[in-house]
Structure 1
Amino acid sequence: MATHDPDDLTRPTRIKGRGAGSNREGRFEALAKTIEDDGWYRDEEPAPRPRTQVSIERARSIISRNESPDIPFNQSINPYRGCEHGCNYCYARPSHAYLNLSPGLDFETRLFAKTNAAERLRAELAKPSYVCEPITLGANTDAYQPIEREHRITREIVEVLHACRHPLTIITKNALVERDLDLLAPMANEGLVQVFVSIGTLDNRLASTLEPRATAPHRRMQSIENLHVAGVPCGVLVAPIIPAVTDMHIEHVLKQAAANGANIAGYTVLRLPLELKELFREWLDLHVPDRAGHVMSLIRQMRGGRDYDARFGVRMRGEGPYADLIRQRFALACRKLKLGRSRELKLDCSRFVPPRTPSPQGNLF
């Protein structure tokens, strides 16, 4: 007799506290799962809530190098694989397929913590061949996601960079970044750090379905103010801008961020690589079914008639009349509010002091 497995969520459904509505297979999985109802399951039953599972990963290296010409940094660190924030639109979701896991619910519930990150960072910074360039935290998955409260890997990384006087950029959706102000504020005094808080909308109800476990938008705005008061240069990323879903909030977000002390701003438009296309369509059908067709139509207008265009220089901004309109609106709002653009702030690389290589004799001098 076929049985229904309530933990096998392959059918799209609303799940409180989660951004994905299904756990569809990744592109590399050899096995496919199907659900069969044996008659005991009822449609009106609430969907089960998958729990977060964290596995320990021992990283062999920790600094990732980037050669993409449309990304304004060359080095980044991701302390975690997967992200509990559960942002439905996250372009990093397809990376979970390399672990033979689903870019859907697995991405936000089956996480990996690189517990030796600080150790590996010290070793890499101590190499004679290392050339100091700013390191970005949060380029792929959020370094301050909820599991950081327990694992504190990001805290350890910032401690290493603080001790070495190494420049750092942080991108986050979580107010937990304020925990590390005791390290970030002194770094800011030496021109070593900048923080970008990502806020795509100030609509809490919308945010609770798009990015269910990220800090609420109004609290992220408070983080911008708290960072500013502490002397940490802080900017806002209006990202991603989703046509007919969040694009009407661009000016509102920028105005509030500037009022709270942000001095720099940037944006990206929605990207839908690989499996993310279907996951986002599921979100539209579950949460805004009346606009689903219109949203996808506008996305294709910015992507040359396709769901996604991966070309460098186009993937972040899109092209065509609708993309041009977003670009013009953003630029005009920044001029009115005297907000700089995200590539303008320079960090000081001249203060870097490499960590000492551990010696079996210890450090006598």
Structure 2
Amino acid sequence: MRVPLEGVGWDALALVEDAADDRPLIERRAVARGAFLELQARTVIERVPQAAGIAQPWAVSPYRGCAHACRGCGARAGHRRLGLDEGRDFDTRIVVRPNVAERLRAELARWDGRELAVGLGGDCYQVAEETYRLMPGVIGALAGAGAPFTVYTKGGLVLRDAELLARAGARVAVSIAFVDERIRRVVEPGAPSAQARLELVSALVEAGVECRVLMAPVLPLLSDAADQLGATVRRIAAAGARRVEPVVLRLPQGTRAWYLEWLAQAHPQLVERYEELYDRAGLPSPGYEGRITGQIEQLCRMYGMEFGAPVVERREPRAAQLALV
């Protein structure tokens, strides 16, 4: 019987401290190339925290950190575990796994066929992908093993691989949380505009790629008004998407401090309300989350779209089983 890998991935690197070396831990093991830190991966399939709100329980990420610099990105804590900070470093110091496809092929040989998420630790089609071109190898490894997968992205570079993704039967979830450019410029300063992402959805659908919109993160008291939600869902429908999957902002450890620091500067009157809305784990109150997702569900029905995450796939693996050591 095949079993999922219990990989430790990025977060349990055997990094040995040297009292005479005050560099971040990751810098003692990685090769620096400009803004990028190249690190040979030991394992690449990693567990997704249930609190992330993502349907797939396992993921592979070619990059850690993201130049899109989204304030509410839930992956920020991973940088701190690598000896970098979860704020500016996460936005500007991107950790790259050059051997991701090679390691993925090896791990898929004993994978159990469950669907994988791709790109949760950092957008897999951010600017680093222009340099490293890791995704064609990742797609090839997944397709060769017959593994179902969903790519999560905001990046238009995904169109480069549209034919590969369509042939592999991949799903793509394009993140569009709101269509107000004033908000986007502040909380997603490095990401493409909402209009560019809506056009990306249309292009992917036209290319035969199964594409949905991840309406995430909905920002409490900033992008959750009824007219904002309505405008966003209406434009998503017009772009040709068949499904919307909403996720209200999560504030896990690492993300919480960075986001609330910005909120205190930009919207100090909202800080107390956020403290009331979120529990210690960084999850929004069930009542609030239910109200927002309920509104989005009604809007989806109005515009003829499906609502929520699709059923997570599971396929019989193609690769022969290897003995587990």
Distance apart, 1:211 and its partner CA? 1.1
Q: Does the 8 A contact of 1:62 with 1:120 survive in 2?
A: yes
Q: Secondary structure at the match of 1:99?
A: coil
| 1:301-340 mapped onto 2 (5 Å cutoff) | 301-303=276-278, 308-310=279-281, 315=283, 318-320=285-287, 322-340=288-306
Q: Does the 8 A contact of 2:63 with 2:97 survive in 1?
A: yes
In structure 1, how many angstroms separate the alpha carbons of the residues matched to 2:136 and 2:281? 34
Q: Secondary structure at the match of 2:104?
A: helix
What is the identity, as a one-letter code, of the residue corresponding to 1:261?
Answer: G
Say whether 1:214 aligns with 2:191.
Answer: yes
Q: Secondary structure at the match of 2:50?
A: coil
What is the identity, as a one-letter code, of the residue corresponding to 1:299?
Answer: Y
In structure 2, how many angstroms separate the alpha carbons of the residues matched to 1:323 and 1:80? 30
Quote the residue 1:142 is aligned against. 123
Q: Does the 8 A contact of 1:174 with 1:214 survive in 2?
A: yes
In structure 1, how many angstroms separate the alpha carbons of the residues matched to 2:85 and 2:34? 14
RMSD: 2.6
What is the identity, as a one-letter code, of the residue corresponding to 2:294?
Answer: Q
Residue ranges of structure 2 left out of the alignment (5+ in a row): 1-18, 23-32
Quote the residue 1:133 is aligned against. 114
Distance apart, 1:203 and its partner CA? 2.0
- Classify 1:184/1:83 alpha carbon distance in 2 versus 1 (closer, same or farther; 3 Å): same
Distance apart, 1:318 and its partner CA? 2.7
Q: Secondary structure at the match of 1:101?
A: coil
Match of 1:104 among 87, 95, 110: 87
Distance apart, 1:345 and its partner CA? 4.2
TM-score, normalised with respect to structure 2: 0.81
In structure 2, how many angstroms separate the alpha carbons of the residues matched to 1:200 and 1:52? 31
- Classify 1:238/1:182 alpha carbon distance in 2 versus 1 (closer, same or farther; 3 Å): same
What is the identity, as a one-letter code, of the residue corresponding to 2:160?
Answer: R
Say whether 1:225 aligns with 2:202.
Answer: yes
What is the identity, as a one-letter code, of the residue corresponding to 1:263?
Answer: R
Could you give the per-residue CA deviations for residues 53-76 of structure 1, whole angstroms, max 9, x where no partner exists? Answer: 101110001111347386421221
Could you give the per-residue CA deviations for residues 118-141 of structure 1, whole angstroms, max 9, x where no partner exists? Answer: 0101111224xx311111102232
Q: Does the 8 A contact of 1:173 with 1:220 survive in 2?
A: yes
Say whether 1:203 aligns with 2:185.
Answer: no
Could you give the per-residue CA deviations for residues 11-63 of structure 1, whole angstroms, max 9, x where no partner exists? Answer: xxxxxxxxxxxxxxxxxxx9x9xxxxxxxxxxxxxxxxxx9710111000111
Q: Does the 8 A contact of 2:212 with 2:244 survive in 1?
A: yes
- Classify 1:199/1:67 alpha carbon distance in 2 versus 1 (closer, same or farther; 3 Å): closer
Quote the residue 1:341 is aligned against. 307
| 1:22-171 mapped onto 2 (5 Å cutoff) | 53-66=35-48, 68=50, 71-127=54-110, 130-171=111-152
Q: Secondary structure at the match of 1:247?
A: coil
Quote the residue 1:194 is aligned against. 171
- Classify 1:83/1:67 alpha carbon distance in 2 versus 1 (closer, same or farther; 3 Å): closer
Match of 1:292 among 257, 261, 268: 268
| 1:263-278 mapped onto 2 (5 Å cutoff) | 263-278=242-257
What is the identity, as a one-letter code, of the residue corresponding to 2:235?
Answer: Q
Q: Does the 8 A contact of 1:234 with 1:261 survive in 2?
A: no
Quote the residue 1:251 is aligned against. 230
- Structure with bigger helix share is 2
Distance apart, 1:284 and its partner CA? 2.7
Larger C-alpha radius of gyration, 1 or 2? 1
Q: Does the 8 A contact of 1:167 with 1:347 survive in 2?
A: yes
In structure 2, how many angstroms separate the alpha carbons of the residues matched to 1:202 and 1:139? 22
> Matched residues, percent identical?
32
- Classify 1:292/1:103 alpha carbon distance in 2 versus 1 (closer, same or farther; 3 Å): same
In structure 2, how many angstroms separate the alpha carbons of the residues matched to 1:212 and 1:355? 45
Distance apart, 1:213 and its partner CA? 1.4
Distance apart, 1:259 and its partner CA? 1.5
Distance apart, 1:204 and its partner CA? 2.2
Quote the residue 2:318 is aligned against. 353
TM-score, normalised with respect to structure 1: 0.73
What is the identity, as a one-letter code, of the residue corresponding to 1:328?
Answer: G
Residue ranges of structure 1 left out of the alignment (5+ in a row): 1-29, 33-50, 358-365
Q: Secondary structure at the match of 2:81?
A: helix
In structure 2, how many angstroms separate the alpha carbons of the residues matched to 1:53 and 1:274? 25
Distance apart, 1:265 and its partner CA? 1.2
Q: Secondary structure at the match of 1:58?
A: coil
Q: Secondary structure at the match of 1:85?
A: coil
